[in-house]
Amino acid sequence: MLSQIAKARVWKYSPSELVAMEEPVVVEELLAISIEGNSCQYRLYLPGQEKPLALGFLFTAGVIGGLADIAAIEFYPPDPEAGRSWAVVEIGLTESARTRSAAPDLPIVLLKDRGGGDWNAELASRFPPLNRELQIKADDLLALMARLPLRQELFQRTGATHAVAVANVQGDIILSAEDVGRHNAFDKVIGRALLEGLPLHDKITLLSGRVSYEMMFKAARAGIPILAAVSAPTHLAIRLGEALGLTLAGFVRGNRMNIYSHPERLIDLSA
């Protein structure tokens, strides 16, 4: 595997001294996701879990509907001798997957003033139905979020990564990933779930950063009904949660949180 950590010289300043030393820094590499020999996506990423990252991206983008659409998948590290300084994940699709339409790109639709039940129902029809029965105690969700830093080894060493984890309502963190990009970390988790045959319709997503529209979109595409983050959501993320029936909680820290959409999945709130 490509290295995830490098050393950098840093000058540590304080009012009393200036000290030169070496510190660990996280590594960014370039990854090309190629379909049938044609590169469709280049992204900077943290080395590791390249196949899950590619699968998660293609799944949430609507290019594939699951592993059944994958005919072949291979990872190739950088090859300087061949003049290629970036890594590649090469995907071969089945015949039926080659004609699949990409997932709907909805920001413009969401930004329009077209609220209302009929509009929300039409929007929700483009995504898999979310589990309406899933519930978790508010205190249990707070306890899960408090455990997320234990899955952030690289962040503890460098302070430069995001983390995404998938947990169940029994309090177990099942999958997690770190990356320099939030979207990459989420794609890695979703891709691993595909590879391991892990259903996500009864799971919770935990995010180490803010919640953008794209993160909510990925959760909805994967069928995840509850998303919790330590930081704030954007307005468009909240609108998507409201429209799709996805529970969104932000600023989940200590013994507090803000619930922005569909609080009915969080029980014992009065306690």
Q: What is the pLDDT of residues 86-111, one digit of tens each?
A: 999 999 999 888 876 555 555 545 55
- In whole angstroms, give the CA distance from residue 145 to residue 148: 5
- The arithmetic mean of pLDDT across residues 44-67, rounded, is 94
* pLDDT for the residue 146: 97
Contacts of 5 by beta carbon, 8 Å cutoff, 6+ apart: 24, 25, 26, 27, 154, 157, 158
Q: What is the pLDDT of residue 198?
A: 97
What is the rounded distance in angstroms from the CA atom of residue 123 to the CA atom of residue 235?
17
Structure confidence at residue 212 (pLDDT): 94
What percent of the chain stands above pLDDT 70? 90
With a cut of 70, say whether residue 69 has pLDDT above it: yes
pLDDT single digits (tens) 125-150: 778 889 999 999 999 999 999 999 99
- Interval 187-206 mean pLDDT: 97
Per-residue confidence (pLDDT) for residue 269, from 0 to 100: 79
**DSSP class per residue in 145-168:** HHHGGGG-HHHHHHS--EEEEEE-
Q: What is the pLDDT of residue 186?
A: 98
pLDDT at 112: 52
Q: What is the pLDDT of residue 103?
A: 53
Q: Which pLDDT score, from 0 to 100, does residue 118 have? A: 54
Confidence check: pLDDT of 209 > 60: yes
Average of per-residue pLDDT values in the chain? 90
Residue 75: beta bridge partners?
89
pLDDT for the residue numbered 122: 63
> Does residue 31 contact residue 43 with C-beta atoms inside 8 Å?
yes
In this predicted model, what pLDDT tens digit does every residue of 144-193 receive, in sequence order?
999 999 999 999 999 999 999 999 999 999 999 999 999 999 999 999 99
What was the pLDDT predicted at 99?
Answer: 77
Within 10 angstroms of residue 41's Cβ, the number of other Cβ atoms is 15
Strands (E), 27-105: 29-35, 38-45, 70-76, 87-93
Say yes or no to pLDDT of 113 above 60.
no
pLDDT band for position 2 (cuts 50, 70, 90): confident
Q: How are strands ordered across the β-sheet holding 247-253?
A: 173-179, 162-167, 204-207, 226-229, 247-253, 256-261
More confident residue, 115 or 8: 8
Q: What pLDDT, in 10s, does the model give residues 227-266? A: 999 999 999 899 999 989 999 999 999 999 999 999 999 9
What amino acid occupies position 189? Answer: V
Kind plus residue range of the DSSP H or E element containing 59? helix 50-60
Given a cut of 90, is residue 21 above it in pLDDT? yes
